[in-house]
Structure 1
Amino acid sequence: MSPIPERRPEAREQDQLRRDTKVRNYSPQAFKFFMEQHVENVLKSHDQRLHRRYQLENEMTKVGLSEEAATQMRRMLHQKESNYIRLKRAKMDKLMFDKITTLGVGAFGEVTLVCKRDPKTLYAMKTLRKNDVIKRNQVAHVKAERDILAEADNEWVVKLYYSFQDRDNLYFVMDYVPGGDLMGLLIKLEILEESLARFYIAELVLAIESVHKIGFIHRDIKPDNILIDRDGHIKLTYFGLCTGFRWTHNSKYYQKDGSHARQDSIEVSSCNLDEHCRCEILKPLERRRNRERQRCLAHSLVGTPNYIAPEVLLRQGYSSVCDWWSVGVILFEMLVGHPPFYAHTPIETQQKVINWKSTLKIPSESKLSQDSKDLILRLLCGAEERLGVSGASEVKNHKFFASINMDGLRKQIAPFVPKIRYATDTSNFDPVDPDKLRNSDSEDLMRRLDSKMENGKHPEHAFFEFTFRRFFDDAGHPCPLPDPNSPVYV
């Protein structure tokens, strides 16, 4: 056998240059972090594909399709699956979207109304600056938000179509819900008729139930995070504080000290939200398989003071029951005109919430019905006695909802339908303060300069497996932009 000829030094240098320019070196911890998420997502994709096939077979059996027609439907699904895999490989870029207007500006970025260039389609795009997300230790929250939006595929949650990233930013491309938010409606009407409040609270109960069913807690239910669609029905948005009790939703794994270096058997606290929880020690694969059955209590302090449950404020540990407290607060606010624990400062509000037994009072002048009072008091109480502790059915079966058909609620005509004059109408949202826009633009420039100087200082594994594309028809999109000459929406 001939010996392998020695390569010339120039060739070796070229190989090294190619490796340096095309392949990035990652630490073993980062590689492990990526692989654990990647394998989990591959298994999840396989399960979703099987589920779609099962759904198709079920529907074909129900309608009694002939074998020939059934075979054709299977071929169509197979082609869709193939196209979906191909589309998932295509790289997304913000230049594929044209900005129309800004809907809101926040601490980490902004939400804009955009139009996808091909085909012309309207979306709401949420842009988050990576540096700010990392500096404020919000990586785990962003990961949790991406996960629930990707997994939630129902009418009660704003639909995520794409998530992608570039060097500086993270992007969520979602449904544009043009009716504004519930807070805007409360500000406009001040107090809602009980029938209208009943409708919105019933829909909110169903929306929260859909979130809990897929293993998440919202943790920030408030009127600002409840959108109204063009038909007058609600959708939950902003899941920046939600959790699914997954290790990727734990902030400790995104710290700069490389604390993700776990061994075969994870530490006692590694699957929890902080060091105070204690769950059974499981190997990673066992943990993945059993995570739906194993739920520990969260201890992180999150939420908005007016709507946050007392057990959360006291860090006593809490579960999905904390979301039902928020429902009680919102119902009170709808019928009375202000939150039950309103105060001039957040600290005073928190004290009122903690001492709810003495501070919760329903004004007699509000003339609430007995059923609405009873529901409020059974939601604004201790976690162990609260309605919803045994599931959403407890809340749905309350006599306050006796006149509501929960099963067909979304198909009913809503009692209030927002006015939408044309496809890109944003009049139902609060106008963005021009100073905020200017400040955001100038700060964004400074942050881009900072990110060039600080390149590589943030955790290298922070945004692995962030990219997402929803399964739908090849050119299927939620809201095609109509022809300029088409009739306006009324």
Structure 2
Amino acid sequence: MESARCWFSKFRSKDKARPSKKKEVSSNGKEGIKAPSSEELPSNVTKQRVAAAKQYIENHYKKQMKDLQERRERRDMLEKKLADAEVTEEEQSNLIKYLEKKETEFMRLQRHKMGADDFEPLTMIGKGAFGEVRICKEKSTGHVYAMKKLKKSEMLRRGQEQLQHWQRNRRMLAYSTVGTPDYIAPEVLLKKGYGMECDWWSLGAIMYEMLVGYPPFYSDEPMSTCRKIVNWKTHLKFPEEARLSPDAKDLICRLLCNVELRLGTKGAHEIKAHPWFKGVEWEKLYQMKAAFIPEVNDELDTQNFEKFDEDDSQMQTPNKSGPWRKMLSSKDINFVGYTYKNFEIVNDHQLPGIGNILSCSCVNI
């Protein structure tokens, strides 16, 4: 009896050591595959990479189909315009070949991996929480652009902080996420639900700043600004030294007020009809000479932009692009599909549109 027990215990220990091939029986009596253990499940990083790969592949083929459709539309549009014009068959053939050549150049340009190293950074014309805007010159062509460089790590970090802040204190979110709240309407801050009327409040705040020199509810602390906006009846005041006309004060007061009384709720015509705009010919606005025309000496002239302190660390940051760039990281997953290139945007320099193509043969359509 003891020997049988000893043999049975050895048999059970071997059976436990052997990988289990048992099948689970479901409630309806059918056999099914045993659910994987927690150790066999993919990690969150793997799931993120799978989702990013799926999104990348879907975007890739969607973009291919969209690009093909756009090429066909450009070809059809050109053929239609040529058919309506008095153009010889030889000229039609030459223009179509020219378009095909430019389409090929555009497809080659789309495959080009462009990075910050392809540009010569010049003057900084803008700076924000996530990056900077700088005038730059493309090294290969010499064309001048405005380049916005964003720090992905900073965007993700701040997004994470805001999420945690939301979870800790929802009430404070209205004060912490607005950034510059000088022009935000009180109904937005109080989360009462709002519509387009809040834009007319912003117009009143901007008008006040342009006439007085500073925002109507300015404070060094954003939270204090928000409190002033919510209690606007107490804090909306006009300094005597600004010398605002009665009509200007009236228009500002009718914009910075309760939403149900705010000018513009029935349409922009209410604001246009205000006495402060008397004499303005709205229909001829684009034909009128501007009150102030900025002086621009050349394409690199930045005298009309705000001056910013240069940060050498940002200027010398290496840009990792090309074949030596590391594979998709967890940070990059949040930015899959952000690349955008447009046929018409590079039109002026390399890829003439239909109008330019036709002008090459002096065809007037």
TM-score by length of 1: 0.47
CA distance 1:339–1:43, change in 2 (3 Å): farther
Query: Could you tell which deviates more after superposition, 127-136 or 400-409?
Result: 400-409
1:29 aligns with 2:29: no
1:357 Cα deviation from its structure 2 partner: 2.5
Matched-pair contact (CA < 8 Å) for 2:179–2:222: no
Superposition map of 1:8-407 within 5 A? 27-34=49-56, 66=85, 68=87, 72=92, 75=96, 79=100, 83-137=105-159, 301-363=177-239, 366-389=242-265, 392=268, 394-396=270-272, 398-407=274-283
Give me the whole-angstrom Cα distance separating, in 1, the residues matched to 2:249 and 2:158.
Answer: 40
CA distance 1:464–1:367, change in 2 (3 Å): same
The amino acid that maps onto 2:256 is: L
The amino acid that maps onto 2:245 is: S
The amino acid that maps onto 2:335 is: F
The amino acid that maps onto 2:139 is: R
1:471 aligns with 2:343: yes
Question: What is the match of residue 285 of structure 2?
Answer: 409
Give me the whole-angstrom Cα distance separating, in 2, the residues matched to 1:83 and 1:408.
Answer: 42
The amino acid that maps onto 2:148 is: K
Matched-pair contact (CA < 8 Å) for 2:175–2:223: no
Give the 3-state SS of the residue equivalent to 1:113 in structure 2.
strand
1:392 Cα deviation from its structure 2 partner: 4.8
CA distance 1:474–1:37, change in 2 (3 Å): closer
Query: Structure 1 stretches of 5 or more lacking a match?
Result: 1-23, 139-250, 256-274, 276-297, 449-453, 479-490
Matched-pair contact (CA < 8 Å) for 1:387–1:394: yes
Matched-pair contact (CA < 8 Å) for 1:26–1:460: no
Give me the whole-angstrom Cα distance separating, in 2, the residues matched to 1:309 and 1:360.
Answer: 13
1:428 Cα deviation from its structure 2 partner: 2.7
Matched-pair contact (CA < 8 Å) for 1:34–1:464: yes
Q: Deviations over 1:320-362 (max 9, x none)?
A: 4433322211111111222111234322221110111232233
Q: Deviations over 1:6-39 (max 9, x none)?
A: xxxxxxxxxxxxxxxxxx9964433454467667
Matched-pair contact (CA < 8 Å) for 2:152–2:331: no
Question: What is the match of residue 282 of structure 1?
Answer: none
Give the 3-state SS of the residue equivalent to 1:469 in structure 2.
coil
Identity %: 39
Q: Which has the larger radius of gyration?
A: 2
Question: What is the match of residue 430 of structure 1?
Answer: 306
CA distance 1:76–1:128, change in 2 (3 Å): same
Give the structure with the larger helix fraction: 2
CA distance 1:120–1:375, change in 2 (3 Å): same
Query: Structure 2 stretches of 5 or more lacking a match?
Result: 1-45, 165-169, 321-325, 351-365
Give the 3-state SS of the residue equivalent to 2:133 in structure 1.
strand
Matched-pair contact (CA < 8 Å) for 2:119–2:136: yes
1:410 Cα deviation from its structure 2 partner: 4.1
CA distance 1:40–1:378, change in 2 (3 Å): farther
1:41 Cα deviation from its structure 2 partner: 6.1
TM-score by length of 2: 0.60
Give the 3-state SS of the residue equivalent to 1:465 in structure 2.
coil
Give me the whole-angstrom Cα distance separating, in 1, the residues matched to 2:242 and 2:290.
Answer: 25
Matched-pair contact (CA < 8 Å) for 2:251–2:276: yes
Q: CA RMSD in A?
A: 4.8
Matched-pair contact (CA < 8 Å) for 2:185–2:198: yes
Give me the whole-angstrom Cα distance separating, in 2, the residues matched to 1:345 and 1:385.
Answer: 29
Give me the whole-angstrom Cα distance separating, in 2, the residues matched to 1:473 and 1:133.
Answer: 27
Matched-pair contact (CA < 8 Å) for 1:96–1:116: yes
Give me the whole-angstrom Cα distance separating, in 2, the residues matched to 1:86 and 1:119.
Answer: 16
The amino acid that maps onto 2:120 is: D
1:135 Cα deviation from its structure 2 partner: 1.3
Query: Could you tell which deviates more after superposition, 66-75 or 425-434?
Result: 66-75
Query: Could you tell which deviates more after superposition, 40-49 or 387-396?
Result: 40-49
